[in-house]
């Protein structure tokens, strides 16, 4: 069962996973990952609700899987060397 988490802890987890804050509207901030995944979280609260923590966990997991699935080299670059 997912519990609510302090906002600072959520920010730290997102940064550690490779996400970066990218603006937002009102009291929400959009966090983007280089692979294209994003999540929006409220900033004004001292803690993040369990439902939002669950969404953040899914975004972190998908971003990690996407990062592992991508090859380190671009196939077009490999053909240039031949």
Q: Give the whole-angstrom CA distance, residue 44 versus residue 46.
A: 7
**Three-class DSSP category at 33:** coil
Q: pLDDT 10s digit of each residue in the chain, 82 long?
A: 889 999 999 999 999 999 999 987 788 899 999 988 899 988 877 899 999 999 999 999 999 888 776 555 555 555 555 4
Q: Judge whether 48 lies within some domain.
A: yes
Asked whether the beta carbons of 35 and 63 are under 8 A apart, the reply is: yes
* pLDDT at residue 82, rounded to an integer: 47
Residue 26: give its domain's CATH number: 3.30.920.30
Q: How many domains does the chain have?
A: 1
Q: Judge whether 73 lies within some domain.
A: no
Domain that holds residue 12: 5-64
Kindly give, in sequence order, each residue whose CB lies less than 8 Å from that of residue 42, ignoring residues fewer than 6 positions away.
7, 27, 28, 48, 52
Q: Judge whether 28 lies within some domain.
A: yes
Q: Judge whether 20 lies within some domain.
A: yes
Q: Give the whole-angstrom CA distance, residue 25 versus residue 46.
A: 18
Q: Judge whether 74 lies within some domain.
A: no
* pLDDT at residue 71, rounded to an integer: 57
Give pTM, 2 decimals.
0.75
């Amino acid at each position: 069962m997912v519990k609510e988490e302090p906002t600072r802890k959520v920010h730290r987890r997102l940064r550690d996973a490779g996400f970066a804050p990218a603006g937002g509207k009102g009291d929400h901030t959009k966090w983007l990952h280089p692979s294209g995944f994003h999540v929006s979280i409220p900033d004004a609260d001292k803690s993040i609700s369990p439902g939002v923590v669950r969404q953040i966990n899914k975004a972190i997991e998908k971003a990690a899987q996407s990062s592992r699935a991508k090859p380190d080299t671009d196939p077009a670059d490999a053909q240039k060397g031949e």
